[in-house]
Structure 1
Amino acid sequence: MRTGLAGKVVIVTGATANIGRATALAFAEEAARVVVVGRDAEAGARVVEAARERGAAEALWRAADVTSEDEVDGLVADVIGRFGRVDVLVNNVGGNAAVTPFVSSAPEQWREDLDINLMSTLRCTHRVLPHMLGQGGGRIVNIGSMAALIGDPYMAVYSAAKGAVHSFTRVLALEIGKSGVTVNAIAPYGTVPEDLAGETSSGSRFHPRTGLFTRPGASRSEERAAFRRTTALDRGTARPQEIGAAAVYLASDQAAFVTGQILQIDGGVALT
């Protein structure tokens, strides 16, 4: 498939681990100019090196906390200053403040879940969008979640935040449909790195020592079991590169007539 992504400037947030890492490398394989965004500089350097090995026209590490408006402003200003444009924005940053029943959750956890999953998407899109509109086109790909569609017990606010990402995707696609900018989302289910040590960063929920889902005693077993669902296929989780491939498609020339869609990559979990 000819994607037309060679030389395009692609920003991937949360690109140091799991889905973000795989997405950055997928664009690298299309010879794009990839901006790897995250907070863990050591993990970021590994992704940049891998992106160059995969054929990226350029690969740039840019440290930024996308929960900070000032840091998002600085990130986009630096990318525009260096490349003069942004062709693709992948709003991948996401995570969980806690896995707990809503009744015992705390407002600070709600705010953290909303900030990292929803507000980061709004901030980055709001800052990049004027440039895309000015250049007459672009692609925005938001990483949502099947949790937004079927709900994950003990992750009520996370599920709600991802639902808002899906709604935002549809409405923005409608608002700017005549501009040449498409807006789509991907709803993955249960995407787990195959190499926890090599494909995670210090802030990843799958980091083998510090991750919310993997560190010893991170979550009570009965709570973790509650949001494990049965897929229609012979494996229970997605692979990060499968999400990256979907992002490449939605950003490609081949998807120019696709907008406002939520692409489910769920192994048929919604069917079971």
Structure 2
Amino acid sequence: MTKTGSLYIEGDSIFHRLDGSIKFLLLICWTIFVFMFLDIRIFGIVLIVGLIMLKMSKLPKKAVLPLFVFMIVFTLINAIYILVITPTFGSKLAGHYTVLLHFGPYKLTLETLFYTLTLSCKYICMLPVTLIFIFTTHPSSFASSLNRVGISYKVAYAVNIALRYIPDVRSEVQNIINAQEARGVAFKRGDAPLFKRLKNYIVILLPLIISSLDRVEVISNAMDLRGFGRYDKRTWYSRRTLKRLDFIFLGLIVLLLIGGIVLRNTVFKGFWYPI
């Protein structure tokens, strides 16, 4: 969390200089491009490009690395679910049936294992651009950019508030955990079994919901006192004009989307499996 009370990290990279609406369009089109395909060759190239972009953003490793670890753990859990629940789904897509593991009625195929790897790469490909958007976009700048492209300023301001208060909610969760630990509730490894610790986290929900509702009421009253929503339009202190760099990236985004549609309909039409 920075001094602005948001996840925004100050910097002077090429992505920090981009307008918030351009980065939002980049995130949307990047997501559409990735979900068009089910080909690990495409995902390998996309991941390399994404990591290069993440390097260009000059974000500190201590902010990026934990989210990478979380994403890898998530993909591993998702992969295990796929292998357990649908062990032959990849064979249906590939048109081949190569049994890798046979245990009673359970049959795991090599095609499903490769499909799981492909799907995991797809999820990881989303992370670099998402991190760039989150950590290089100031909430106020992003809200004004959304309003400029036609989104109601009320919706834009709601997004602004959501981005600003994510760190506050995280801090509130830590405060509640500290308070519960002072009362003898176990949250750390070694203090209680895993299932018991997971069950204890439920204790956090009620005070977190109550504190969040209190915060919502305070913000709502403050906005009402300032006449928020009275007029159809409003001005923005942080709004700036689009620059040459913004238009260059806008052109690259359009090319990315068009190129993805062409490749999807001509070359990479479905699940790729090396025979």
TM-score by length of 2: 0.23
Structure with larger RCO (C-alpha < 8 A, sep 6+): 2
Indicate the structure (1 or 2) with the bigger Cα radius of gyration.
2
Report which of the two has the higher share of strand: 1
Report which of the two has the higher share of helix: 2
TM-score by length of 1: 0.24
